[in-house]
Amino acid sequence: MIRILVVDDDKNIQKLISKHLNNHGYETECAGNGSIALSMMEKNYFDMLIVDVMMPMIDGYELTTDIRSVDKQIPILMITAKDTFADKKRGFTSGIDDYMTKPIDFEEMILRVEALLRRAKISADRKLEVGNVLIDFDSRSIIMQNENIELPRKEFDLLYKLLSYPNKTFTRRQLMDEIWGMESDADERTVDVHIRRLRERFSDNDSFEIVTVRGLGYKAEYLK
């Protein structure tokens, strides 16, 4: 499931944004300011951020700048009451991908979220086609060369996550938190075991490869 971090110091706005996103199938978490958001991003993986501008400690501009120093790809939608050209220019200069002004039109927000996710090559319909491999998240099915392949849930989720972000390196900790959950008692070697099983299952495929990034974790590379 696509996970979106909502960063706003107004809890009512947090709830409203989360409600509309949840109703469209997205999973959300909330942070009250940029400092909390950065802390959450160190421990969890998110597919997108929705960020307010005026917040205590670290505002939306500074948060975006900090994120872009380490992650150039994650989509960021800024929502704010500031609507002058100078404000918008500052937002885009800091690294946001899109901009909305308050009051929020939630139908428009959903359309913008979907557009940003498409641009980031995250399939909003949760289907991936990689070479001759077709993966459908909702039916949890994998078809390779017209053959149906069944995977245990954790292996499926792990493969889907890696293939959704080609050439993006995930640490073992990020994968553990995303697939197994932060409260899991399993250690990071569990990721290695599941990666090995995936490599064995797809050893004869010519569409993708799961690559070890020494000292960091894993990434998927498309071969065609």
Q: What is the pLDDT of residues 102-131, one digit of tens each?
A: 899 999 999 999 889 877 765 556 788 899
Q: How far is CA 73 from CA 43, 49, 97, 192, in A?
A: 18, 11, 10, 25
- Rounded to whole angstroms, how far apart are CA atoms 172 and 216? 7
CB atoms within 10 A of CB 27: 13
Domain count, the chain: 2
Predicted pLDDT of residue 121: 64
Q: Which of 119, 142, 160 is the last residue of a domain?
A: 119
pLDDT at 211 over 80: yes
| pLDDT class of 64 with cuts at 50, 70, 90 | very high
Average pLDDT for 45-64: 92
Q: What is the pLDDT of residue 123?
A: 55
Containing structural domain, residue 33: 3-119
CA 98, distance to chain mean position in Å, is: 16
**For all residues of the chain together, what is the average pLDDT?**
90
Residue in the block written with tokens 């400690």:
57
Percent of the chain with pLDDT over 70: 96
What is the C-alpha to C-alpha distance for residues 43 and 29, in angstroms, rounded to an integer?
Answer: 13
Calpha distance 126→136 (Å, rounded): 6
In contact, 76 and 96? CB cutoff 8 Å? yes
The amino acid at residue 194 is H
pLDDT in tens, 149-163: 999 999 999 999 999
pLDDT above 80 for 206:
yes
Q: Are residues 107 and 166 in the same domain?
A: no
**Prediction pTM value:** 0.58
CATH code, 140: 1.10.10.10
